[in-house]
Structure 1
Amino acid sequence: MEARAALLGPGDAHCTTVRVRFGDTDPYGIVYFVSYFRYCHRAIEEYLRAVGLKPEETFKNVEEGFGLPIVEAWARFRRPARYGEVLRVETRIQEIRPKAIIFRFEFFPEEGEELIAEGTANLVAIDRTWRVRDLPEKVRAAISAKRQP
């Protein structure tokens, strides 16, 4: 999956573009629903990079003893996206909780405003024993700084 990412102004969405590849589609050439969740994960990775966090040290940080697994994901599809189409994924922080981050995603054509799909992903902080813990301060600080106008 090709991807480009760009931060807009403070508090705005983080934008990632993805080109729909053949392997992302069903037999009709329409994006298979699972592919949207891969695009969302890619958008989270790019968002983390944009705020100065390394995804590989944020999703699972052995040294500091925390992880951020996705425990819930939701999506709604408004219109089909097809093979070859370039999508713009706008990623925002919907909510920061003491122990979780909820990302929100909106999919648009690269050069348009028609909503193709939308969704959320809920990441919960866990410790080495897989128990819920507070978000690491460095994660909270980096994401909170992005949200400040």
Structure 2
Amino acid sequence: MAYTTTIRVYYEDTDMAGVVYYANYLKFLERGRSDAVRDAGISQLDMRNAGLVFVVRRVEADYHRPARFDDVLTVETGLEDMRGARFTMPQRVLRGDDLILTARIDCAVMSMDGRVARLPAEIRHKLAELLL
């Protein structure tokens, strides 16, 4: 994986047992992807102003170990299988060397009116430069 983001688990992220609630991992993964895109020099606000947005088409996630309140997690984000309007971002969540979660996120580019749009060449290049 080419890009990492650090996240601390807050009380609001956990269930009554102090374990991260399963759906909250999706927020952690989103933060990892958003940080990677931003650090690649891609402004999602500029994209939106140009009439394009990234959307999630599919999520595959495997939970390996629980994360708990106050853990410091690392979200790793990569890039693979970039095609005309879509791409896949494999991600991992770790606590130190312990693997917490693995995921594959299929993303696409859409116009603001909900139509599939090609990934602009400049954005394709910036993503590949940072994440490959």
Aligned twin of 1:41: 30
CA RMSD between the two structures: 1.5
Q: 1:18 aligns with which of 7, 31, 35?
A: 7
Any conservation in 1 of the 2:11–2:18 contact (CA below 8 Å)?
yes
Q: TM-score under structure 1 normalisation?
A: 0.82
| 1:1-149 matched pairs, under 5 angstroms | 12-58=1-47, 61-62=48-49, 64-109=50-95, 112-147=96-131
Ranked by relative contact order (alpha carbons within 8 Å, sequence separation 6 or more), the top structure is 2
Where in structure 2 are there 5+ consecutive unaligned residues?
none
Deviations 1:76-110 (A, max 9, x none): 1001110000001111113211111211111111x
Where in structure 1 are there 5+ consecutive unaligned residues?
1-11
Alignment length, in residue pairs?
132
Query: Partners in 2 of 1:81 and 1:136 — Cα distance?
Result: 37
Stretches (4+) displaced over 6 A? none
SS at match of 1:52: coil
Query: Partners in 1 of 2:45 and 2:124 — Cα distance?
Result: 16
Query: Partners in 2 of 1:57 and 1:41 — Cα distance?
Result: 19
Query: Partners in 1 of 2:131 and 2:100 — Cα distance?
Result: 25
Aligned twin of 1:7: none
Cα deviation, residue 147, structure 1: 4.4
Q: TM-score under structure 2 normalisation?
A: 0.91
